[in-house]
Amino acid sequence: MSLPVDAFTPLQHELKAEVINRPSTTLWQDAWRRFKLNPLAMGGLVVLSAIVLFALFGPFFSHFDYKTNDLESVNLFPNWVHPFGTDELGRDILTRVMFGARISLAIGFGSVLINLTIGIFYGGISGYLGGRVDNVMQRIIDIIFSVPDLLYVILLMVVLGSGLGNIFIVLGIANWVPMARIVRGQILSLREQEFVLAARTLGASTKRILMKHLLPNSVGQIIVVAALQIPAAIFMEAFLSFIGLGVQPPLVSLGSMAASGRLNIPSYPHSLLFPAGMIAVLMLAFNFVGDGLRDAFDPKMRK
């Protein structure tokens, strides 16, 4: 039995293989989209932004000076005039926390900028050149890594002396080893890729290959490590100030406030509670942001 040809209607296909169903996104746009889906990371970013604004602009709205003594207002508990109370010299703790957070944040970001520079330079050269050069450079790292960070930092502070500038230098040169190892690992995994071979074939110099091809493709891991090193630097500065090797008067940091407040815990616990609480909040916020960045730049590590 034959069917009539006019009983069938040809199906009209519209080939749209070239049409992109979703607009393309860059690495940064895709990372930001993933980052926003992490509520803890977004919460940490909001808290961190609030603390930065609090530290930068809060002192302009304060009626007190962080270093002027007021012996008529010694060890006051929190009240309407002094929301965080006063210390043993009558200084407003709220104002001192603002300035202390400013100094601690500056030390955290500044020291990480230094170890970023050293770690990227050292790890990039070691990973790209490889061979005997890489072996020698990694043995140097092993020797440095064998010394405990705390001992290394204390020895450098004793040699260079206490002070804000020396803290930047010491924390910057003491924490570059993890960054160098991360950068080296990324460079080792990327240097044999086709785009690097093409650049080398076209006559690109080692500097250009590192700066234009390898390091930009490692920026995700670099940002994650830097975000997690900032709270470590802040905590190390707090410890140094706690033992008397950090920020010296009249400057104030959260660590130095905690050091002076620990003597008044039985009678005036607020003198320790507020600076220590600010340190704890900073640690949590930075760690939440660091974990969010890790998941955003490396989706395979998401739980």
Give the pLDDT confidence score for residue 302 in this predicted structure.
47
Q: Is residue 13 assigned to a domain? A: no
pLDDT tens string 192-221: 778 777 877 877 777 787 777 777 777 777
Give the pLDDT confidence score for residue 184 in this predicted structure.
86
Q: Is residue 20 assigned to a domain? A: no
Which residue in the block uniquely carries the two structure tokens 């900028």?
A: 113
- Cis amide prior to 275 (ω within 30 degrees): no
Q: Is residue 92 assigned to a domain? A: yes
Are 82 and 92 contacting, i.e. CB atoms less than 8 angstroms apart?
yes
Provide the strand spans (E) within the chain: none
Give percent above pLDDT 70 in the chain.
Answer: 89
- E strand or H helix at 38: none
Dist. CA 240–CA 5, nearest whole Å: 91
Q: What is the mean pLDDT of residues 153-174?
A: 78
pLDDT tens string 228-256: 888 888 888 888 877 777 777 778 888 88
Q: Is residue 75 assigned to a domain? A: no
pLDDT tens string 13-72: 555 555 555 566 666 777 788 888 888 989 999 999 999 999 888 888 888 887 777 778
Give the pLDDT confidence score for residue 47 in this predicted structure.
92
CA atoms in the 13 A half-sphere facing the CB of 183: 30
Candidate from 75-89, 120-134, 144-158, 170-184 with smallest mean pLDDT? 144-158
Q: Is residue 64 assigned to a domain? A: no
Q: Is residue 257 assigned to a domain? A: yes
Are 181 and 144 contacting, i.e. CB atoms less than 8 angstroms apart?
no
Going by the DSSP 8-state scheme, the letter that residue 170 receives in this structure is H
Give the pLDDT confidence score for residue 21 in this predicted structure.
56
Q: Is a pLDDT exceeding 50 seen at residue 295?
A: yes
Q: What's 135's domain CATH number?
A: 1.10.3720.10
Count of the separate structural domains present in the chain: 1
pLDDT tens string 75-118: 888 888 888 888 888 888 888 899 988 888 888 888 888 888 88
Q: Is residue 202 assigned to a domain? A: yes
Candidate from 160-164, 172-176, 270-274 with smallest mean pLDDT? 160-164
- Which residues form the domain of 151? 30-57+81-301
Q: Is residue 1 assigned to a domain? A: no
